[in-house]
């Protein structure tokens, strides 16, 4: 979608946010115009981020461009998984690491995101790169990365709100300087290249919001529980907000592990807030499971066996639900498929919350505290 818009702007001098480009993308994806309930593929990426798609737009063969894009996204999936392990300081056994990386690529949500071709996988990599650069003190780089996340707000809105709250609470002004300078430079350059892009981009964004496609937690609960679906969706939203407020205010200035845990919780809660999303967007939740795997492995004597079981559940259950949905055309299985990932992640995070936030002290630390 973004590559088509970039190609139209570069070579045909066509409005990248126009209905013409959306219709062209629909024909590429569906072989026809989009029906009601299907993604209309309106380009909503801000123009100052569109140049990142120029290398793909230059390629005349869509198959080659898509192949390169999918290959880069597969690398991003593994990179995100490894980055999360580095972030929490956990070095699992080699065999487990191999399976962990393979499942990060072949889980249902990863495959759905790869086939959709959306930039959500790279977005997940950016989220965990922001956490990593934040704690290694690369403040200007953190600010630059934050600018690159300014699309697909429904995926990481709560995550970004939490990060900015952390920045302000710790007065890390250099991050804001890096964010502001990068944002201003990109905006100025975009206006020099295409002065009138803002209005068409806003119109396309509103058209995309009005389009009836994707899935929401409210629609899922209404289908599963028609009598009180609205009440359940509202209760889930309120519960998620309360959890994030409670956990966010409990964070200490120097408590790195708690902030990482709350950041992962914010990503897991977001799909249940009622925002319209697509099931492939849930791929950003998978790296958060590294916290659960790490805590499970280190807490129990048979930790690797238990963690292996959790890995099998993460891989097999979603594919099983998808196969049932495809075989029986029962919408309930697709709804369960949507709910499984965020609910499993939230339950897993809370199951291992105490150990991850308060890891066991070493013998030396215990002796120092006793003196």
Query: What whole-number distance in Å separates Cα of residue 292 and Cα of residue 266?
Result: 15
DSSP 352: T
SS (H, E, C) 118-185: CCHHHHHHHHHHHHHHHHCCCHHHHHHHHHHCCCCHHHHHHHHHHHHHHHHHHCCHHHHHHHHHHHHH
Boundaries of domain holding 298: 2-359
Residue 368 lies in a domain: no
Residue with tokens 């289908």: 223
Residue 370 lies in a domain: no
Residue 138 lies in a domain: yes
Give the model confidence (pLDDT) of 177-191 as tens digits.
999 999 999 999 999
Residue 369 lies in a domain: no
- Confidence (pLDDT) at 367: 35
Residue 274 lies in a domain: yes
Residue 86 lies in a domain: yes
SS3 91: coil
pTM value is: 0.91
Residue 367 lies in a domain: no
- Confidence (pLDDT) at 25: 77
Query: What whole-number distance in Å separates Cα of residue 7 and Cα of residue 114?
Result: 21
Split into its structural domains, the chain has a count of: 1
**Token couple for 294:** 């790490």
Q: Which residues of the chain carry a pLDDT beneath 50? A: 362-371
- Confidence (pLDDT) at 31: 73
Q: Which long-range contacts (CB under 8 A, 24 or more apart) does 156-159 make?
A: 156/123, 156/127, 156/267, 156/270, 156/284, 157/270, 157/275, 158/244, 158/266, 158/267, 158/269, 158/270, 158/273, 159/127, 159/263, 159/266, 159/267, 159/270
**Token couple for 36:** 């009601």
Give the model confidence (pLDDT) of 160-219 as tens digits.
999 999 999 999 999 999 999 999 999 999 999 999 899 988 888 888 878 778 899 999
- Confidence (pLDDT) at 185: 95
Residue 58 lies in a domain: yes
């Amino acid at each position: 979608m973004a590559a088509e818009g970039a190609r139209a702007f570069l070579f045909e001098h066509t409005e990248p946010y126009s209905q013409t480009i959306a219709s062209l993308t629909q024909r590429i994806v569906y072989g026809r115009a989009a029906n009601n309930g299907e993604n209309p593929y309106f380009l909503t990426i801000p123009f100052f981020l569109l140049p990142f798609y120029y290398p793909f737009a230059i390629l005349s063969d869509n198959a080659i461009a898509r192949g390169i894009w999918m290959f880069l996204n597969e690398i991003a999936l593994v990179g995100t998984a490894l980055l999360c392990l580095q972030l929490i300081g956990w070095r699992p056994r080699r065999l487990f690491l191999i399976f962990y990386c393979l499942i990060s690529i072949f889980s249902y949500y990863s495959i759905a995101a790869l086939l959709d071709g959306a930039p959500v996988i790279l977005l997940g990599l950016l989220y965990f790169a922001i956490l990593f650069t934040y704690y290694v003190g690369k403040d200007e780089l953190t600010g630059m990365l934050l600018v690159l996340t300014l699309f697909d707000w429904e995926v990481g809105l709560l995550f970004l709100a939490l990060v900015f709250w952390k920045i302000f609470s710790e007065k890390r002004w250099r991050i804001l300087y890096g964010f502001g300078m990068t944002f201003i430079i990109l905006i100025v350059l975009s206006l020099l290249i295409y002065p009138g892009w803002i209005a068409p981009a806003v119109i396309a964004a509103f058209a995309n919001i009005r389009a009836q496609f994707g899935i929401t937690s409210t629609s899922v609960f209404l289908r599963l529980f028609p009598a009180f679906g609205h009440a359940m969706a509202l209760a889930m939203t309120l519960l998620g907000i309360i959890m994030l407020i409670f956990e966010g205010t409990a964070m200490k200035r120097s408590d790195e592990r708690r902030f990482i845990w709350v950041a992962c919780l914010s990503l897991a809660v977001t799909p249940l807030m009622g925002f319209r999303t697509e099931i492939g967007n849930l791929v950003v939740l998978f790296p958060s499971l590294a916290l659960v795997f790490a805590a499970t492995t280190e807490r129990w004597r048979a930790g690797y066996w238990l963690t292996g079981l959790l890995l099998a559940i993460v891989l097999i259950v979603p594919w099983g639900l998808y196969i049932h949905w495809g075989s029986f055309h029962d919408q309930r299985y697709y709804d369960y498929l949507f709910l499984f990932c965020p609910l499993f992640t939230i339950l897993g995070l809370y199951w291992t919350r105490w150990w991850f936030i308060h890891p066991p002290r070493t013998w030396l630390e215990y002796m120092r505290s006793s003196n």
